Amino acid sequence: MSRHRRENHRLKTLLAQECARIIAEEGIQDFRSAKRKAALRLAVADKTALPDNAEIEQALLDHQRLFHADRQALQLRSLRETALEAMRFLANFRPRLVGPALTGAVGLHADIRLHLFADTPLEILLFLTERRIPVEIAERRLRMSNGTEVHAPVFRFSAGDQPIELTVFPPLAEREAPCSPIDGRPMRRAHLAEVEALLTDGGS
C-alpha cells in the first residue's frame, strides 16, 4: 500500500470513529450530518476521505462495545421492548422492525423504525387518530432493489419519551425490502416473533 493510500485509510478511520462518537454521544442520527460535523472538526476538505455508511455503522458498534457496553445493552433492550409493544399494538399492519433497534447500532437518541403494510396509508392514520395518538406526517424517499425510487408515507409519534417512526408500504412490498442506506443491500427486517426471540436470547 502506498503512503498516500495509507494516510487516506488512516484519515477515513479517524473520520469514521469521530462520526461514531458524534452519533453515540451527541444525539445525531443522520449519517450525512455526522460526516459533515466530523469533517469540520478534523478540518478535512477532501470528500474522498469520507467513510461510507457501512464503515460508520461498524465504527459505531465498536465504539459502543468499547466505551458504553453496559449502557448500550440496556438501551438496546429498552428500545426492543418498546418496539415489541408497538408491533403488538400495530399487529393488523404486519409490522417489521428495521434500523438501529434491530442492528444494535444505536446512538444516544435512537428512534424505533417500523415498516407497515396497508392498502392505503389512510388506514393507519385513522387507526392512530381514533386512538388519539398525535401524529406527525412526512415522506421518505427509498430506493428499491430493482432501482426504482418510491416516496413512502411516514407517520411519527412518541410512546412516552421514545420516538417511533412508521413507514407505510403497499401489501406487495412486504416481499421486497427497500435498499439499506448503509450498504445498498435489501434492508434487514424482523417480524414480531423475531423481535421476541432477540429479547429472549439477547441476540443481535
User: Can you give the pLDDT at residue 112?
Assistant: 95
Low-confidence ranges of the chain (pLDDT < 50): none
Q: How far is residue 139's CA from residue 118's CA, in Å, rounded to a whole number?
A: 16
User: Can you give the pLDDT at residue 45?
Assistant: 84
User: Can you give the pLDDT at residue 202?
Assistant: 64
User: Can you give the pLDDT at residue 3?
Assistant: 73
User: Can you give the pLDDT at residue 54?
Assistant: 87
User: Can you give the pLDDT at residue 30?
Assistant: 81
Which DSSP string corresponds to 89-102? HTGGG--EEESHHH
